[in-house]
Amino acid sequence: MRPIILLVAAALALTPAMAQPLPAPASFPPITASRGVLATHELSLDLAEKIARAAIESCRKMGFRTTIAVVDASGTLKTFLRDEGTGPHTINLAKDKAYTALTLASRFATSLTFANARGGTLGTPMPNIRGVTTVGGGVPIKYRGDVIGAIGSSGAVGADKDELCVQAGIDAAAAELK
């Protein structure tokens, strides 16, 4: 009995070592299987942090202190950085700018293009879509043409400056996003 238990324990211990990695998908973009399964890409925490940190550094170089929010493809907060000296209003606004860029990415390049198209004034909310605002400063994050998240900045003087900061963050991760 004891040799059988040892044999089973040894087999279980070796199983992970003998496991093979899953094969890479055969094609891109992913093909929908007959069962309705899709392969997708996800924004990693490390990449989200790299993008956010680069955006903060870009804003600092321009003389601004900002709050940066990165959301994943589902609109959920992935990473958040708030520089010293930023106002409390920048917390929600940065997230709303990122969420707006994500939500409207199929129709508008950035939250600023959406704000300009809508003729919104500073902070005009969209009462029918919670979390969407007509303020520039949000840009979608794309991988191979697919939106995998978005980044928003609040605190630079002017939405166009916020968008420069977040675009610099995305540009810092250009190699990973190819």
- At 102-123, the pLDDT tens digits run 999 888 888 888 888 877 666 5
Amino acid sitting at position 36: G
Confidence tier at 36 by pLDDT (50, 70, 90): confident
Cα–Cα distance, 172 to 137 (Å, whole number): 17
Mean pLDDT across the chain, nearest whole number?
85
Asked whether residue 58 carries a pLDDT value surpassing 70, the answer given is: yes
Asked whether residue 6 carries a pLDDT value surpassing 90, the answer given is: no
Query: CB count, 10 Å around CB of 128?
Result: 6
- For the residues 82-88, what does the mean pLDDT come to? 96
**pLDDT at residue 109 in the model:** 85
Cα–Cα distance, 135 to 149 (Å, whole number): 18
Do 135 and 98 touch, CB atoms closer than 8 A?
Answer: no
φ, ψ of residue 41 to 5 degrees: the values are -110, 145
- For the residues 40-53, what does the mean pLDDT come to? 97
Asked whether residue 165 carries a pLDDT value surpassing 60, the answer given is: yes
Do 155 and 102 touch, CB atoms closer than 8 A?
Answer: no
Asked whether residue 7 carries a pLDDT value surpassing 70, the answer given is: no
Which segment, 6-15, 97-106, 125-134, is predicted with the most confidence on average?
97-106
Q: Which domains does the chain possess? A: 45-172 (3.30.450.150)
Residue spans of alpha helices (H) in the chain = 2-18, 45-61, 89-103, 111-118, 159-172
**What is the per-residue pLDDT across 124-155, written as a single tens digit (0 to 9) for each?**
666 678 888 888 999 999 999 999 999 999 99
Cα–Cα distance, 170 to 164 (Å, whole number): 10
Cα–Cα distance, 111 to 172 (Å, whole number): 20
**pLDDT at residue 4 in the model:** 67
